[in-house]
Amino acid sequence: GENVEQHPSTLSVQEGDSAVIKCTYSDSASNYFPWYKQELGKRPQLIIDIRSNVGEKKDQRIAVTLNKTAKHFSLHITETQPEDSAVYFCAARAAGNKLTFGGGTRVLVKP
């Protein structure tokens, strides 16, 4: 089955700096890659997603890039703010509608 690895597990950045989280996947048939943000004690919320026919997608301060050849995708957050502090999960979809999640990255934005 699909295997998704996510790095780093924790990330501390100064407010205003950029944050980058990287994920690799194993199944070349995966075609959908969402990113979720989970604040402490709350439900995961979709923040951005990308499909395999697109190399990059941007939404305000958030962008995702996909390299199908290398089987990795990344989340970029620019001009980080304290409210960006949360746990971020990447995921990949292969067969059916099953999502396989990465282990998560705890992001701390220091004011």
Given the complex with another protein, which of 25 and 89 has the nearer CB atom? 89
Q: Which residues bind another protein (CB under 8 A)?
A: 1, 4, 6, 9, 32, 34, 36, 42-46, 49, 89, 93, 96-104
Question: Which residue lies nearer to another protein by CB, 31 or 65?
Answer: 31
Q: Confirm if 19 and 13 have CB atoms less than 8 A apart.
A: yes
Bridge partners of residue 10, in order along the sequence = 106
Q: Of 55 and 103, which CB lies nearer to another protein in the complex structure?
A: 103
Q: How far is the CB of 100 from another protein (least distance, A)?
A: 8
CA–CA dist 91, 69 (Å, integer): 17
- In whole angstroms, the minimum distance from the beta carbon of 94 to another protein comes to 11
Shortest distance, position 22 Cβ to another protein, whole Å: 15
d(CA 82, CA 45): 17
Q: Which is nearer to another protein, 32 or 68 (CB)?
A: 32
Q: How far is the CB of 79 from another protein (least distance, A)?
A: 26
